[in-house]
Structure formats: structure tokens, C-alpha cells
Amino acid sequence: MEDNKTIIIYDSTLRDGAQAGGISYTLEDKLKIVERLDKFGVKFIEAGNPGSNIKDQEFFARVKKMKLKNATLIAFGSTRRVGIDVKDDPNIQSLIAADTEAVAIFGKSWDFHVKEVLKTTEDENLQMIYDTIKYLKSLGKYVVFDAEHFFDGYKNNRKYALETLKVAKEAGADSLDLCDTNGGTFPMDIYNITKEVVEMFPGTLIGIHCHNDTGMAVANSIMAVLAGARQVQGTINGYGERCGNADLITLIPNLQLKLGFKCVPDENIKHLTSLSRYVAEIANMIPNERAPYVGAYAFTHKAGMHIDAVKKNPASFEHINPEIVGNTRRIVLSEVAGRATILDKIREIDPTVTKDSPVTKEIIDELKRLENEGYQFESAEASFEMLIRKKLGLYQPFFTLKEFKVLINEPAVEYSSSAIVKIAVDGVTAITAAEGDGPVHALDSALRKALEKFYPELKEVHLVDYKVRVLNAETATAAKVRVLIESTDGKDTWTTVGVSTDIVNASWIALVDSLEYKLCKEKVGK
Amino acid sequence: MEDNKTIIIYDSTLRDGAQAGGISYTLEDKLKIVERLDKFGVKFIEAGNPGSNIKDQEFFARVKKMKLKNATLIAFGSTRRVGIDVKDDPNIQSLIAADTEAVAIFGKSWDFHVKEVLKTTEDENLQMIYDTIKYLKSLGKYVVFDAEHFFDGYKNNRKYALETLKVAKEAGADSLDLCDTNGGTFPMDIYNITKEVVEMFPGTLIGIHCHNDTGMAVANSIMAVLAGARQVQGTINGYGERCGNADLITLIPNLQLKLGFKCVPDENIKHLTSLSRYVAEIANMIPNERAPYVGAYAFTHKAGMHIDAVKKNPASFEHINPEIVGNTRRIVLSEVAGRATILDKIREIDPTVTKDSPVTKEIIDELKRLENEGYQFESAEASFEMLIRKKLGLYQPFFTLKEFKVLINEPAVEYSSSAIVKIAVDGVTAITAAEGDGPVHALDSALRKALEKFYPELKEVHLVDYKVRVLNAETATAAKVRVLIESTDGKDTWTTVGVSTDIVNASWIALVDSLEYKLCKEKVGK
């Protein structure tokens, strides 16, 4: 065990995280995440369960060839089965075949599980823990013991739960990790029980593994650390079984920035936001905009009074400086935002503009006019940036629309919709057609097909979200709609907006803005 | 203050929740949420800030006409401005004009804010708190004092922070609510500081208001309750400024089911899941699938070992029975349904049906199938009723669609879209055409034109709301969309749902259901 302010970060994104609903990693995905986690500086990467999953066996064969700088890989498995010799257990053999320096073994600490699930005796369960760890230690492995359902077990039969830890320790376990497997334990209980265990095993590394079923996985992990646990298990973005695991993206800055513990190298804390978004991208999950520290809204100010105060001093409504974790402050552009906020945005693009420049008033007037029409730039900063660029003369159209037509048929013939788009770029006309599920899909496909001839960089762009909101709903299908389109090129993510009484037209406006924003970005970048 | 196991639930979904990025409620949205919160049994509904927002002034005028059974409405505002008489403060006058029985006043408890944001003296700030509360009490109001940034203030200048509470109490505040406005405070600090306040003001109701910037808003609120706070502020789904507020949807079952406190009537706990989804729909936010208690994945079992154990005994991997909160267990391979709630709905239409009737299983199977396709009946009960009627044999189609075609042109000629609809009623064919702003409007107009010949009662029906939600947004414009249509005939209001990869098709399904629901209703009524 290192000094008392060091926390060993134990990542299970690729094991418990892969048990999350809606997540399914390919082998390549897993390798990419290992590389990134290693670079970020976590100590352990629990990367799969080779006994239960053939894909994981292939993965361990491949990952062996990677050179890791910081992290140690962990293969995860269960204690031996009831009533057999540990050497004859095929899952244990798969675990050994994974050929990692370290392994994690989970065993039952809740007597209820021993009876109801394993359907064996309490003594046999203790023997299973002992045999498995002893055997793996004899092969020279570093062994983590995951005491499954430890807290539920403690509450039901304290003596037996503690006995499972003693047996694991006797067999040579390198750490004893207390798991709140069902996620139902409360912070004070986590603190008191962990403290008792820490005092019972002086000098032994105690770990904590929390689930979020009562919304307290992060706080529970913190309480365990305050009670003396020095190994923290969790996953990136909290992905995991049911409501997920303790979110390392929140826990690491909580521990390192707020409590002064050392989890990863200080210089890597600024990569938290990009790490979170990278894993979300690979997992194909929509990033949580409200995520602590790294969410798009985490340092977004909307209420007029908050905006006013943050300008006077950011600490007034920010618990940390967003740049420390690689995030940025956002002042949203809403009815309540006022002139000063808008000026700040303009000056991000052209610092020479002042509040008295005529263009400032022009932009504010245009913003007001558009907001009255139903536009909302709060979550569509890319469209607002395009508006500013247009007013500053920093924009020229990348193409001209000549015409489009969309035809929808019911009954459908293969696809319900087909679109024809005719555009011109520098006097060269292109006409393309495409089909799609619905008019917007058909139109999007036809437009890209036309534009990619002229701008191949648009191939990188794809849409990640598409939202529609009816504005004056009283008139229902003849009402105005606002469409928000979120796009990414793999590096950045941006949102654009379109408003119209016609959903296809509103989508078209947002779509064009999105593609032009990308082209602008490329041009300015060069 | 009531007995020591009663918690007063103070909902701020419509005030702090409305400050969330991406949320913008219409007046009608707010009225619907008030009605639902009242029915659910929260004690206070903080519904808006009439001083800062003209829309909120209209809202308070409208909401006065509603008869609330359980809840008391709260208008929210600030202490008077620096250096003026409280009677001359226009925001205070707006607050009074809202004409609610109760008000919440926030005042500064952090000396840093007094200096840096208010730019006044500590004494003047105390006077502002005193004057404002005293004046509102003299008008007979129930007054909640929100001590803004109380915990940051306490850490910076303990004496002054406590002084602000004393002054508020002296002026007559009915409760003292401690706010962790920046969300940076840790559970043990919340516990210790709240305990000190509770002991300092015996017999006074102490409240807690937490934000989620370190991912611990729920745990922090729990710690405050354990320290003696008996009023808990939060929002449905945790919507709120930046990373959000304490999530009442998690907090209420944590307090009521796990700690034995009384927050809402016991019989309403089973409505938690539908309340959460209802508010998400109205806010047009994607429901969080991993949300504790109510998320689609909260009781979803994916790992083989977990499924095996849950089949032996659900308590093995579930911290509560999902039916208690109106959620259902999902086994990722073979889905299992929650029957009791569905049976209740069926028996509203045909009371002779029992849980063993074959039709019950048929309806549950159909419901499961549709939910897997992306349907959601929480807020579309008319569609669910149509589904039940179809299975019970209480339905016959009112018309048959032969064909429709929609054409969209850009540039538009008067209208952008035109539609042709061909239907048959009792062997009589009708073909009509109509134009519209957008394909759905054109289609809606053409369909009504065709049907009104046969069913003149449809003239009374018009659509009041139209909402679109993208389901698997990762594939964006080719993703599935869910359309919700709300219709009225001047007497009743009903909502129907359609799902498709094509927005026009999804709208068509919901539109047809809506018109057929009206025709069914007329027929049954006769």
C-alpha cells in the first residue's frame, strides 16, 4: 500500500460497464478504450470475463500485444464451482489462459446468496473462496477479492460476511474489495461498515465497488474512502448493470480536486471531459449533458441573475474553474441573457468589436427577430456563430439551393420517401436523388450526395441527435416547429437550429447550417 | 412542524427545473405539471419567479383558477434591492401580485456574494433579508427563506452565515432552507453543518436544497435529513441549473421505502415511474434509462449469472421490488411483464376480465411488442384504450386507407406541401386533396376532408399539441421517431401515439388513432 493520500483507481468500464443495457463493445472498441485508460493513468483495467464470454478470450489474446505504460490488466471471474477441484474448473482455466498479471475473483459474502443461488453450505462457500485464491496465488497472480453483496451480507449475517474476508485474506488475496452489488446501501452504513473492515485488516488494501440503484454510488464511494478504503472501483460515465456503477469521471475530480487525494497524474485531470466523450462515442451513447464536471451544461448559466454574478466573479456560481477538467463555461443565449453576454460571443470571433460597434446592434436586433420567430440559440451555438459570421462579413455561402422536391408514398415501395436536390457550387450545378425512411432522411442523403463531390471533408460529419419541438401548439399540425440537429465530426460536436411551419423546411435550415458550420470551421482552422 | 418522521416535499420543477439547459415550458405545460404534482401529493410547488419573467405572471393568473387538493403554490423571488424601501421594489410587488398563499425568498448567506455580487455591506444584506420577510409576513404570507450558498458561506464565514438565518427567523420566516447553490459540498459537511443549524433553531422547520455538481445531490439531501432537516427541495428527474437539482424521483423512495419517512401518500409511490416519464415527455427530454427506481434499465438484468439468480429469487439482484414504484423487471432475453396495472386499465373498459382471462395475456403481449418497438403509453392513454378495445373485439375500423401521396416543393408555390388521400367507408371510396405547411399538415387536412363527409362529428375535433421525439438518436435522421398528438373536441382531451422510422408515417398512425378514438367515444356514449 502506498502513502495514505494515494487512491488506486480500478476501472471496470469493459467488464461491469459492458453489462449495461444498450452497450455492446466490439473487440476493436475494447482495445481503443484500454489504450485511452492507460494513457489517462488508471492503475487497473478490469477488461473482461474470459470464463463467460468467448469474445473476451479473443480480446485477451489481442491485448497482450499492446504495451501499457501505467495500467495493469485484470481478468475477472468467479470462485470455483460447488463440489469440484479448483484445477478442474473450466472457468478458472479460462481465467488463467487470459494470461494477465492480475485477476479479480468474486465470491459470495451474503449467506442468503449461498443458500438461494449457489444452493450450498456456508462452509463450502468459504472453501471455494479459499481454494480459488490460494491456487491463483500459487501461480504468481496478483489477486483482487471482490466480496459480492458484502454490505447486504453484513446486514443479514455480520459474522459470516466478515468470515469470507478473513478466508480470502488467509488464502493470500492482495486486496479485499467490498461490493454494494445491488446498490441499495446508504452512505452512513457504507462508512461505518467499511471503517470496521479497515480496522479489522490493518495494512491490507481495502477496495470499494458501488452501484447507483439509489442514486448514491459516487457519495458512497467517497464515504468508503473517508473510512479508509484506498482502492476505488468504477466505470467511465458510470455505465454498468441496471442504473450503473460509480462514475469515475465524477469520482476522480471529487477525490483529487476536492479532497486532495492522488488518483491520476495531475496533468491528466484536464483530459476528463474528452475521456468521457470519447468513451461515450465508442459506446454509442448520447453524452449526459448534465454530467458533473464534464457535461455540456455543467458550467452553463441560464438565469439572468446567475449570468450577471458569474461575470462579476465566476466562483459565484461555479464550484470549480471548468478549464481544470477540460470543460468550458457557457452563457446561454436566451431572452434573459442581455447584451453583455451576446457581446462576449461576438468577441470570441472578432475581438475588435465593442458594444458601440454598429454591428453589435445589428446582431442583437437579428437575434431578437429570430427569437420572436421561435428560434432558440441556447442549445444551438453553432447556428448563432453562423449568424454572427454572416453579420461580420466572415461568411460566404458554400452552395446555392436551386430546388428540391420530396415525394412520400403510402403504401411505400421499399422506402417511403424520395428526394431530388439541385444545388450549385461556384457556378457548377449538381442534381442528385436519394431515398429514405421519411422525407428528412431522404433529403439529408440527397444533399450530402450532392455536396460531397465538392467538399469531401463532409464525409466525416454525421448527425448524433435530431429533436423537434412544436412552438405554438394550439394550431397543431399547422404550428411552427423548431428542429435542433446535433452533429459531430468525431472531434467536435455542434448543434444547429431551424424554425418553420414546415418540419421539412425547418430540418433543411438546421441541416444546411450544420454542414456550413463544419466547412467554416475547416476553413478557419487552415 | 409535524411528527419527526414526516418530510415536507418541496418541488421546484417549474422554477429551478425551468433553469435547466434545453428546457423551455409553455404555460400549458406548467399547468399540466402542477395538476400532476398536486395529485401525486407533494406539499409545495415552487412554480415560478414572477419578478423576472413575464410569462410567469400570466401563469400565476391562470393557475389561481385551478383547485388543488394537496399542494400549496409558491411564488419565488429575491430579497429587496440594495438601498430602497421594500414597498418600492418592483420585484417584490410582482411577487405579491402573483397572489399565492406562500412565497419563497432567497437571500445571500455567503459574505463573498454580498461583497462581489450585491456590492453592499454585510449589514445592509441582513437588513434586506429582515425587511423583505417582515413585510411579506405582515401581508399574511407563509414565507420560506432560501439561504443561498449557505454551505459555502458557512465555510468562509460561519458567524455571518448563521447570522443571516437568525435575522430571517426573527423577521418571521416559517422555514429556513439551506442551499448548496453551487453543488460543491460533500456529504459529511452537509451532515455536520445541518446538524448545527437544527440544534440552533429548535422547533423551526429546516429545509435542504442541493445541486448535483459533484454527483451527490441525492446523498447530500439524505444526510441533511439524517441531521434533522424535515423539508426537502428538489425537482422531478433532477432537472435544474447546470448539473441539476436533487432528484425527487430518487429521493422520495429513498426516504419513504428505505428510511421509513413519510413524504407522499403510500399509495402514490407506485406512480413514481409514470410521473417521471410524464414530466420528461412534457419537458421534451429523453428519459434517463439508468435512472434509479424508474429508468427502463433500473431492473433490467443482462448478465447471465444475474438472470439466473433473479429467477431463483429477485431479491438476489434487486434492492426493491420494481412494482412498488410502478416499474417492471426486464430480463433481456425473455421479457416478463407487470400485469396488475395493465389489468386495472382493461377492467376500466370491461370489468368482467380477470387476470386469468386469455385476453389479458394477449394484451400484455401486444403491449410488450409495441414497447419494444418504441411505443410509450404513459402519456398516450387513448392509444392504449384503442389497443384494448381492438383486443376485446369492441372495435371495428371506421375507414380503410387505400393510398396517400405527399409532395413537398422548395421553392414553395403558396404552400410547400400537397397531399392526396384515398379512403373507403363501407365500400364507398373517397379521394381528396389538400395543401398545407409541411407534409403532416397537408395530410391531416386531406384526411379530415375525406372523413367529414361520412362522420360530421369529426368537425368538432382539433389538435392541440403535436410532439416528436427521436428514439434511437444515434442514427439521427434515419432513427425511429415517436409522435404524440393531443386532440380535443371541446369537452375532452386525449393523446395518441405513433412510432415509425418515418415521421409522416408515425404522425399518420397517431392521427388515425385520434380520430377513431373520437368516433369510438361517440358510439359508446350513444
Concatenated DSSP letters for B280-317?
A: HHHHT----TT-TTTSTTTTEE-SHHHHHHHHH-GGGT
Testing the interface with B: which of A290, A435, A445, A509 to mutate, by most B Cβ within 10 A? Answer: A290
Minimum CA–CA partner of A501 in chain B: B437
Q: pLDDT band for position A25 (50/70/90)?
A: confident
- What's the whole-number mean pLDDT along residues A78-106? 96
Higher-confidence residue of B282 and A119: namely A119
From the CA of A448, how many Å to the nearest CA of chain B? 13
Cross-chain residue pair B466–A479, CB shorter than 8 Å? yes
CA B214 to chain centre: 23
Q: ∠B14-B16-B22 over CA atoms, to 5°? A: 80
* Reported ipTM exceeds the 0.85 cut: no
Q: Picking from A2-6, A136-140, A320-324, which range would have the lowest pLDDT averaged per residue?
A: A2-6
How far is CA A31 from each of CA A45, A251, A491, B112, B443, rounded to the nearest angstrom? 11, 24, 19, 48, 50
Q: Which residues in chain A touch residue B299, judged by CB atoms under 8 angstroms apart?
A: 242
Q: Picking from A101-115, A340-354, B189-203, B465-479, which range would have the lowest pLDDT averaged per residue?
A: B465-479
CA distance A517 to A349: 13
Q: Which residues in chain B touch residue A179, judged by CB atoms under 8 angstroms apart?
A: none
CA distance A458 to A518: 8
Higher-confidence residue of A57 and A268: namely A268
- The whole model's pTM is what? 0.76
Compute the radius of gyration of chain B from its Cα atoms: 27
Q: Which helix (H) or strand (E) holds A386?
A: helix A381-391
Please list, in sequence order, all residues whose beta carbon lies within 8 angstroms of the beta carbon of residue B18, skipping any fewer than 6 positions away.
Answer: B24, B25, B48
Q: Which helix (H) or strand (E) holds A500?
A: strand A493-500
pLDDT at residue A90 greater than cutoff 80: yes
- What's the whole-number mean pLDDT along residues A28-55? 90
Q: What share of chain A is helix, strand, coil (3-state, %, to 5)?
A: 45, 20, 30
Q: Which residue in the set B21, B404, B466 is minimally distant from A297, CB to CB?
A: B21
pLDDT at residue A2 greater than cutoff 70: no
Cross-chain residue pair B463–A481, CB shorter than 8 Å? no
pLDDT at residue A213 greater than cutoff 80: yes
Scan for cell 459474522, then name that residue. Answer: A159
- Torsion angle defined by CA atoms of residues A46, A47, A50 and A56, in that order, rounded to the nearest 10 degrees: 170
Contact yes or no for B497/B508 (Cβ under 8 A): no
Cross-chain residue pair A438–B505, CB shorter than 8 Å? yes
Cross-chain residue pair B503–A503, CB shorter than 8 Å? yes
Burial of A82 (0-12, 13-18, 19+ CB in 10 A): middle
Q: pLDDT band for position A319 (50/70/90)?
A: very high
> What is the biggest distance separating any 2 CA atoms in chain A, rounded to whole angstroms?
84
CA distance B401 to B258: 53
Q: Which residue in the set A182, A241, A313 is minimally distant from B116, CB to CB?
A: A313
Query: How many CB pairs below 8 Å do chains A and B form together?
Result: 360
Q: C-alpha grid cell for residue A340?
A: 453583455
- What was the pLDDT predicted at A133? 98
Contact yes or no for B508/B381 (Cβ under 8 A): no
CA distance A406 to A413: 14
For residue range A368-391, list pLDDT tens digits in order.
Answer: 788 777 787 766 889 999 999 999
Q: Which residues in chain B touch residue A247, judged by CB atoms under 8 angstroms apart?
A: 215
Q: Which helix (H) or strand (E) holds B72?
A: strand B72-78
Q: Which residues in chain A touch residue B291, judged by CB atoms under 8 angstroms apart?
A: 243
Cross-chain residue pair B284–A467, CB shorter than 8 Å? yes
Contact yes or no for A178/A150 (Cβ under 8 A): yes
From the CA of A190, how many Å to the nearest CA of chain B? 12
CA distance A226 to A206: 12
From the CA of A67, how many Å to the nearest CA of chain B? 30
Cross-chain residue pair B507–A477, CB shorter than 8 Å? yes
Scan for cell 401486444, then name that residue. Answer: B366
Of B230, B155, B158, whose CA–CA distance to B188 is shortest?
Answer: B155
Residue A410 β-bridge partners: B404
Q: C-alpha grid cell for residue A100?
A: 494477465
List alpha helices for B22-113, DSSP H. 27-40, 54-63, 90-97, 111-113
Q: C-alpha grid cell for residue A409?
A: 408514398
How far is CA A356 from each of CA A333, A343, A364, A387, rounded to the nearest angstrom? 20, 10, 12, 19
Cross-chain residue pair A212–B292, CB shorter than 8 Å? yes
Query: Strand, coil or helix: what is A65?
Result: coil
- What was the pLDDT predicted at B526? 43
Contact yes or no for A126/A157 (Cβ under 8 A): no
Higher-confidence residue of A27 and B387: namely B387
- What was the pLDDT predicted at B370? 85
| B182: phi then psi, degrees, rounded to nearest 5 | -90, -5
Q: Which residue in the set A215, A308, A438 is minimally distant from B502, CB to CB?
A: A438
Terminus-to-terminus CA distance in chain A, angstroms?
50
pLDDT 10s digit of each residue in chain B, 526 long?
A: 446 899 999 999 999 999 898 888 888 889 999 999 999 999 999 999 988 777 788 899 999 999 999 999 999 999 999 999 999 999 999 999 999 999 999 999 999 999 999 999 999 999 999 999 999 999 999 999 999 999 999 999 999 999 999 999 999 999 999 999 999 999 999 999 999 999 999 999 999 999 999 999 999 999 999 999 999 999 999 999 999 999 999 999 999 999 999 999 999 999 999 999 889 878 878 788 899 999 988 998 877 677 778 888 888 889 999 999 999 887 654 233 346 667 878 888 899 999 889 998 898 888 878 877 778 776 688 898 999 999 999 888 899 999 999 999 888 878 889 999 999 999 999 999 999 888 888 999 999 999 998 999 998 888 777 777 776 654 445 567 888 888 888 778 888 999 988 888 999 999 999 999 999 988 875 4
Helix axes A122-138, A90-97, angle to 10 degrees: 30
Q: Which residues in chain B touch residue A226, judged by CB atoms under 8 angstroms apart?
A: 188
Contact yes or no for B472/B346 (Cβ under 8 A): no
Q: C-alpha grid cell for residue B402?
A: 387505400
Percent of chain A residues topping a pLDDT of 70: 95
Q: Which residue in the set A183, A222, A405 is minimally distant from B408, CB to CB?
A: A405
Q: C-alpha grid cell for residue A207?
A: 477496495
- What was the pLDDT predicted at B399? 94
Q: C-alpha grid cell for residue B413?
A: 408555390
CA B100 to chain centre: 21
Question: What are chain B's domains?
Answer: 12-283 (3.20.20.70)
pLDDT at residue A475 greater than cutoff 60: no
Please list, in sequence order, all residues whose beta carbon lies within 8 angstroms of the beta carbon of residue A259, skipping any fewer than 6 positions away.
Answer: A222, A225, B186
Cross-chain residue pair A21–B444, CB shorter than 8 Å? no
- Torsion angle defined by CA atoms of residues B218, B224, B228 and B229, in that order, rounded to the nearest 10 degrees: -70
CA distance B156 to B164: 14
- What was the pLDDT predicted at A472? 57
From the CA of A386, how many Å to the nearest CA of chain B? 20
- What was the pLDDT predicted at B1? 42
Residue type, B299: F
Minimum CA–CA partner of A408 in chain B: B406
Please list, in sequence order, all residues whose beta carbon lies within 8 angstroms of the beta carbon of residue A479, skipping any fewer than 6 positions away.
Answer: A470, A471, A472, A473, A501, B466
Contact yes or no for A439/A432 (Cβ under 8 A): no
- Torsion angle defined by CA atoms of residues A36, A39, A40 and A41, in that order, rounded to the nearest 10 degrees: 130
List alpha helices for B392-492, DSSP H. 439-452
Q: C-alpha grid cell for residue A81?
A: 464451482
